[in-house]
Amino acid sequence: MGRMSASPDHPPVSVDASGRSAVAAGGNVGQAFTGPGAVGLNIGTAHLMSPVACPRAETVDCPPGLDNLHSRATMFVGRDDELAALDDASAVPGRALAHVLHGLGGIGKSTLAARWASRRSESHADAPAWWIRADSRSAIDAGLADLAVALQPSLFALLPQEQLAEWALRWLASHSGWLLVLDDVSNPQDVTPLLSRATSGRFLITSRQSTGWRGVAEPVPLDVLPGSEAVRLFTLLHREDPGAAELCEELGHLPLAIAQVAAYCAQSGCTAREYLEDLADLPAEMYAAKDENRDHERTVARVWHVTLDRLADDPLTARILLLLAWYAPDGIPRTLLGALGSRPAVRGALGRLAAHSMVTLSPDGDTVSVHRLVQAVSRTKDTSDRHRTPTAVADACTAATQALCRAVPDDIDDPSTWPVMRSLLPHVEELARRTRPEDDTEAMTRLLTRTGDYMLGAGVGLAPRALGLLQRAVSSCGRLFPPDSVELLEARVHVADAQRMLREPRQIASLVEEVLDDCERALGPDHRVTSSARMSAYRVASLTGHHERALRLARETFAGRVRTLGDAHPLTFGARQAVILATAETGDVHEAHALITQLLADCVRVLGEEHPETLAARAVATVLAHQADFPVAPLTAATRVFAVLQDGGDLVGAVRGMVDEFDSWGPIDIPRATEEEVAVAERTLETCLRVLGEDHADTFAAKLALAQVYAATQDERQVERAARLLGEVLSAFGDDQHVTTMVEGLLLVLGTVLGEHLSLEEHRSPGLTRLFEDETARTDRTDLGDSAP
């Protein structure tokens, strides 16, 4: 007996029915399930269906080999760890096993799911492997309804979608061994009810959403392919191409992009190199390009457009993504986004972008990373994409430039600001690389000038890159500012400094003098830019052997800085050290040693033990302390080499002069170093490494000073340490680094001390070999080879 009520649209009427499988209705209830499983439809003119047509879900077996996998992913590479994780997973009794593959759109989530599902179905032929597009709850219901019909075709004509989905859920809850792939889930809450109903079987979910899966499914994050596997995928889909590695690198090793490009190249017949050239010239067209057989919605541009559409309720997400596009992909300081909105608003927008795998936040939340191809597409103007209109992209570039300008510290000579500058440097360089010089604004020129200035003092190997930024700054300043402007003159001074570090001093002496004259005429003798120009002129005079002029320029710089900055300013101490080195170069080493001793004491008292000026003074003091008893001529040459190491210049010439002087005097009795002097030199190097970093010029100076002290102990164990330390210095530079030649020259000079502990042949570059073994090299600088400056 059963009892049913009328439809909610009609007054409630209770009626009774008796008899097995009987149904009573007080109106039209649409449908009713009887006890055995038959269904009555349109009760009012009721008729009953046979249980054979609509059996209970629990009683239906799966047809052999049932699956609807949209792809077998035969063109597949890599992902061994992820496949193994899925293979090795074990279920908890009483609940289905669920994993979620999450990552950036185009990372290969669906392809991996198809690959694993197809492999699994081979060993589970008696259970279905069913693929459901799951980007909404309605799509999930539709997929479940299709599963119900596949299991019991007669249901198609009997039940609406909602009841079909319910029937499928009952089937899943009562059977085991099945696999349900839920592809492109946009919200974990959409699948939670489904997963909670299943007590066995497996779910494999793909989603761009990286958060919200705790207690729902086990996350399996996906990253881009390694470089070798990216090239293998391109080759598998197209053919071998010598430019494939470079192309895959430009595409950020993103599987969807590689597949899209490989198919396009195969259809169009273009090479990887030709595609790269087209990508540089016509990025918008190439990011949207596809072969004839590829779904338009599966291009990289469209994939991320869909994600931004999902985030469209917060316009800040798109603005952040477009701004981030102008920086280097990794380590973007979150502080650069401060002007876009309040801290909670920016934090929330970043959180949503991260949740949809468009960005990655560092564990501490201080920095952001973006896939380079996401950046490339975001920088590309597209009138058909409301997120990337020409105005939106241009505004993002302006905002990115202004954010960096605000972030650059006021005093880049202050060591406390160097960590900030190190974090900003890659993003300034990337912004410069992604923008056209003719579009530079006044803000951009100042950014380039200040960053180039920082680079010249930050590391020995940064000078070539600094020169590129500074030359661009000079060109743009010439367009935007008057000829005698501070902006243009300051950029010219720094260009001269960079040229001095990279070219022979005689080649740029006239340039340096011209800049100094212009600064004195336009800005006056005591202006900070004029002071920098005079210091540059001092260094060139020193490197070209004009020691009296160098001493005069150093003294003028020191006096000017005392007048404008006071005698306790770090820049004043730097000029004072220049006077000391110039004094030593003129031959008055005892006076220089006395002066550096007093300078070191003043630096410690005013600036502290770990200030860069203190560390530089200590290195100079270490060197001069062991040269006070040397003959004047070779000592002057050695002092010049030390000055070159700190300031850059003609290192080959300086080493040649030092070696010639040492050769002329024969064996020299080097003063023996004490244990205390060794300890001081070791502490100085440790501090330089910690405060200045591995690549700073003063760090290399400290290493060489320590090596000299080790050698001067004349103790075999210490000499071995000197040899190892000098070898470390050499290993930090390739043949094309100008410091290599200078260090190798010092090794030759110290050869009488180091003896058999260091094999020069293991370290000598071709340029140095010609320098010291080819007699013509002593008079013809062109014979030094490619490794010489």
Q: What is the pLDDT, as a whole number, of residue 694?
A: 80
Q: Phi and psi at residue 316, in whole multiples of 5°?
A: -65, -30
In degrees, rounded to 5, the angle at the alpha carbon of residue 516 between the alpha carbons of residues 494 and 573 is 70
Average pLDDT of every residue of the chain = 81
- One DSSP character per residue, 157-179 reads GT--HHHHHHHHHHHHHH--S-E
In degrees, rounded to 5, the angle at the alpha carbon of residue 316 between the alpha carbons of residues 314 and 317 is 80
DSSP class of 733: S
Confidence at 784, pLDDT banded by 50, 70, 90: very low
H helices of 568-650, in order, are 570-585, 589-607, 612-625, 632-647
- Are 701 and 616 contacting, i.e. CB atoms less than 8 angstroms apart? yes
Q: Check residues 285 and 68 and name the one with the higher pLDDT.
A: 68
Q: CA 355 to CA 361: how far, in whole Å?
A: 10
CA 268, 272, 278, 282 torsion-angle sign:
positive
The H-or-E segment that residue 224 falls in is none
Token pair recorded at residue 340 = 């876009």
- One DSSP character per residue, 354-386 reads HHTTSSEE-TTSSEEE--HHHHHHHHS--TT-T
Q: CA 62 to CA 221: how far, in whole Å?
A: 32
- 218 pairs with which residues across the strands? 99
Collapse the DSSP code of 494 into the 3-class scheme (helix H, G, I; strand E, B; otherwise coil) and give the result. Answer: helix
Please name the amino acid found at residue 297.
E
Q: Provide mean pLDDT across the span 207-216.
A: 90
Confidence at 273, pLDDT banded by 50, 70, 90: very high
Asked if pLDDT for residue 668 goes beyond 70, the answer is no
- b/e per residue, 204-241, with b = 16+ CB within 10 A? bbbbbbbebbeebbeebebebbeeebbbbbbeebbeeb
Identify the CA nearest to 716 among candidates 744, 754, 660.
754
The CA–CA distances, whole Å, from 512 to 208, 533, 538, 549 equal 57, 7, 10, 14
Confidence at 53, pLDDT banded by 50, 70, 90: confident
Asked if pLDDT for residue 478 goes beyond 90, the answer is yes
For residue 782, count other CB atoms closer than 10 A to its CB.
Answer: 8
The CA–CA distances, whole Å, from 689 to 693, 694, 742 equal 5, 5, 21
Q: CA 622 to CA 134: how far, in whole Å?
A: 71
Chain segment 391-445, per-residue pLDDT in tens = 999 999 999 999 999 999 998 888 889 899 999 999 999 999 999 999 999 999 9
28: Cβ–Cβ under 8 A, 6 or more apart, which residues?
6, 7, 42, 43, 44
Q: What is the pLDDT, as a whole number, of residue 657?
A: 55
Q: Provide mean pLDDT across the span 236-258.
A: 91
- Are 127 and 178 contacting, i.e. CB atoms less than 8 angstroms apart? yes
- b/e per residue, 269-290, with b = 16+ CB within 10 A? ebbbeebbebbeeebbebbbbb
Q: Provide mean pLDDT across the span 647-674.
A: 56
Token pair recorded at residue 703 = 């290493």
Q: Which of 297-301, 340-344, 455-459, 492-496 has the lowest mean pLDDT?
A: 297-301
Chain segment 80-135, per-residue pLDDT in tens = 999 999 999 988 888 899 999 999 888 999 999 999 999 888 888 788 999 999 99
Q: CA 283 to CA 277: how far, in whole Å?
A: 10
Q: CA 182 to CA 135: how far, in whole Å?
A: 9
Q: Provide mean pLDDT across the span 446-472.
A: 92
Collapse the DSSP code of 101 into the 3-class scheme (helix H, G, I; strand E, B; otherwise coil) and give the result. Answer: strand
Do β-strands 15-17 and 31-33 pair in parallel, antiparallel, or remain unpaired? unpaired
Q: What is the pLDDT, as a whole number, of residue 745?
A: 43
Q: CA 750 to CA 747: how far, in whole Å?
A: 5
Q: What is the pLDDT, as a whole number, of residue 233?
A: 94
Identify the CA nearest to 707 among candidates 721, 686, 693, 687.
721
- Are 639 and 656 contacting, i.e. CB atoms less than 8 angstroms apart? no
Q: Phi and psi at residue 360, in whole multiples of 5°?
A: -125, 130
Q: Which of 355-359, 591-595, 726-730, 748-752 has the lowest mean pLDDT?
A: 748-752
Q: CA 298 to CA 256: how far, in whole Å?
A: 8
Q: Check residues 112 and 8 and name the one with the higher pLDDT.
A: 112
Confidence at 565, pLDDT banded by 50, 70, 90: very high
Q: Check residues 342 and 635 and name the one with the higher pLDDT.
A: 342
Q: CA 470 to CA 461: how far, in whole Å?
A: 15
Q: CA 624 to CA 638: how far, in whole Å?
A: 10
- 367 pairs with which residues across the strands? 333
Token pair recorded at residue 649 = 């210049």
Asked if pLDDT for residue 220 goes beyond 90, the answer is yes
- Tell me the whole-structure pTM to 2 decimals: 0.72
Q: What is the pLDDT, as a whole number, of residue 716?
A: 75
Q: CA 58 to CA 44: how far, in whole Å?
A: 29
Confidence at 249, pLDDT banded by 50, 70, 90: very high
The length of the chain is: 789
Token pair recorded at residue 718 = 């210490």
End-to-end alpha carbon distance in the chain = 102
- Are 127 and 62 contacting, i.e. CB atoms less than 8 angstroms apart? yes
Chain segment 296-338, per-residue pLDDT in tens = 455 676 677 777 887 888 899 999 999 999 999 999 999 999 9
Chain segment 368-403, per-residue pLDDT in tens = 999 888 898 899 888 888 888 999 999 999 999 999
Q: What phi-psi label fits residue 65: left (phi over 0), alpha (psi between -120 and 50 degrees) or beta?
A: left
Token pair recorded at residue 298 = 């599966």
Q: Provide mean pLDDT across the span 11-36.
A: 50
Q: Which residue has the tokens 């002057």?
A: 636
The CA–CA distances, whole Å, from 438 to 444, 451, 472 equal 11, 19, 10
- 333 pairs with which residues across the strands? 367
Chain segment 160-171, per-residue pLDDT in tens = 999 999 999 999
Q: CA 539 to CA 532: how far, in whole Å?
A: 11
Confidence at 669, pLDDT banded by 50, 70, 90: low
Q: CA 252 to CA 239: how far, in whole Å?
A: 19
Chain segment 497-524, per-residue pLDDT in tens = 999 888 888 889 999 999 999 999 999 9
Q: Which residue has the tokens 């260094």?
A: 539
Q: CA 570 to CA 612: how far, in whole Å?
A: 9
Q: What is the pLDDT, as a whole number, of residue 350?
A: 93
Q: Check residues 25 and 208 and name the one with the higher pLDDT.
A: 208
Q: Which of 67-71, 80-84, 175-179 has the lowest mean pLDDT?
A: 67-71
Collapse the DSSP code of 69 into the 3-class scheme (helix H, G, I; strand E, B; otherwise coil) and give the result. Answer: coil
Q: What is the pLDDT, as a whole number, of residue 329?
A: 94
Identify the CA nearest to 742 among candidates 787, 711, 680.
787
Q: What is the pLDDT, as a whole number, of residue 283?
A: 80
Q: What is the pLDDT, as a whole number, of residue 760?
A: 39
Q: CA 647 to CA 460: how far, in whole Å?
A: 9
Q: What is the pLDDT, as a whole number, of residue 536?
A: 94
Collapse the DSSP code of 615 into the 3-class scheme (helix H, G, I; strand E, B; otherwise coil) and give the result. Answer: helix
CA 233 to chain centre: 24
CA 135 to chain centre: 32
Asked if pLDDT for residue 553 goes beyond 60, the answer is yes
Chain segment 626-641, per-residue pLDDT in tens = 655 554 444 455 555 5
Please name the amino acid found at residue 563.
R
Q: What is the pLDDT, as a whole number, of residue 286?
A: 77
H helices of 77-191, in order, are 80-88, 109-123, 137-151, 161-174
Identify the CA nearest to 291 among candidates 275, 307, 273, 309.
275
Q: Phi and psi at residue 39, in whole multiples of 5°?
A: -125, 135
